[in-house]
């Protein structure tokens, strides 16, 4: 696969122009989104650098669309499925910028990343093995806990979150902070959102 810097330059320029303001989003985002989605579909025959940057630009368009009130029709769940279905080498290339972009989207509005929680946590669990993705993933978990006193933590989401944090503890990525962060998590979750087996938290701490 030949790397053509001019393609990347044009894509970056087009994205920069599109995200300037609401008017530019209305006029430019639709065709640009369609192009980015097609690049991701053709990812197997394109250079990984182009694919990686396209992913970043596509999620930047989604974020800017939300900020400006312009509908982009970008499905985060579909993007995540594309990443998950990629070969391991390409997955590793895409997973790190995806983790960074997910955090950026969550900081704008947590609902943006909760389109399909199951597929979200599926990619987070797979990407947790990549050190470059871990900080963004853990920050996203904290964001879901801290926003509106854990209002987004349904019982199902709580269970997936605890499971992911258990993976962090197993990896030793958060070290001594694990027990403290887990305590904060439990304090912020209302009783109605507590999972059926609350002893899970205790066992994870012990195992970690």
Same domain, 109 and 205: yes
Same domain, 143 and 163: yes
Domain that includes residue 41, residue range: 1-74
The answer to whether 19 touches 61, Cβ cutoff 8 Å, is: yes
Q: Which residue is listed with tokens 């694919």?
A: 51
Give ∠ CA 169-165-144 in degrees, rounded to 5.
150
> Nearest to residue 102, comparing CAs of 86, 90, 116?
116
Q: Give the model confidence (pLDDT) of 26-65 as tens digits.
A: 999 999 999 999 999 999 999 999 999 999 999 999 999 9
> Nearest to residue 64, comparing CAs of 114, 116, 109, 10?
109
> How many structural domains is the chain composed of?
2
Q: Give the model confidence (pLDDT) of 120-150 as tens digits.
A: 999 999 999 999 999 899 899 989 988 887 7
Tokens, residue 31: 């065709």
What's this model's pTM, rounded to 2 decimal places?
0.84
């Amino acid at each position: 696969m030949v790397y053509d810097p001019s393609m990347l330059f044009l894509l970056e320029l087009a994205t920069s122009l599109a995200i300037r303001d609401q008017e530019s989003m209305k006029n430019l985002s639709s065709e640009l989104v369609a192009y980015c989605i097609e690049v991701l579909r053709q990812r197997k025959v394109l250079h990984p650098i182009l694919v990686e940057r396209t992913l970043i630009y596509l999620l930047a368009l989604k974020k800017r669309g939300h900020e400006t009130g312009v509908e982009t029709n970008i499905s985060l769940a579909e993007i995540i499925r594309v990443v998950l279905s990629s070969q391991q080498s390409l997955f590793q290339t895409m997973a790190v910028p995806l983790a960074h972009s997910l955090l950026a989207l969550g900081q704008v509005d947590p609902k943006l990343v909760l389109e399909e929680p199951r597929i979200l946590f599926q990619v987070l669990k797979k990407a947790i093995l990549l050190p470059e993705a871990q900080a963004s993933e853990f920050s996203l978990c904290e964001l879901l806990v801290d926003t509106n006193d854990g209002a987004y933590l349904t019982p199902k989401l709580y269970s997936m979150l605890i499971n992911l944090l258990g993976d962090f503890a197993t990896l030793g990525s958060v070290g001594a902070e694990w027990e403290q962060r887990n305590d904060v998590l439990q304090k912020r979750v209302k009783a109605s959102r507590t999972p059926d087996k609350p002893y899970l938290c205790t066992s994870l701490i012990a195992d970690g």
